[in-house]
Structure 1
């Protein structure tokens, strides 16, 4: 089966290739911030971005150096890299936690409970 682009008539053997073409060449599926025009491919990234325009931005303070962050995941990443949150000497030596697991935990924080859980695991 052949899949045709409605905009430029380019043909594709795989639907996934057509979808990628539509997204990259014609902006299909992109979400745009109404306030600043920044474009996102995922709606959850747009929602997180839109909240950064809010005047009621939460702040998260590092208890070691008092630096302020607008997002919990940025605070956690800062603590792991800069403020030695667990007493380890480097990010790679944090309590037998692999970097991919750390990064996955940081990227998947959705609420305060998740943040506390991740800190306890580290």
Structure 2
């Protein structure tokens, strides 16, 4: 059930806090500002995620080579991509020439 509906766009939410956060999209309000670089955010969760780029802490480690990563949520995909260095997996194939790549962005650049 989603009893909280935004009056302007009609989008519904299960939690009142989600409705409030959603409202920032329409107002353009960016209440969360990074003191390090000045970048501002409308959602607290995005601000918290961003603030981690300013720390040197990298608690998530590749079990194969020991390379460290900053956060698990966003970097799980990076860790999976990184593991392909060790497995030599190349799942992205160019449909024109057949060359394979370990990540989609390299295929796109190719």
TM-based fold match above 0.5: no
TM-score (norm 2): 0.44
- Structure with greater strand percent: 2
TM-score (norm 1): 0.41
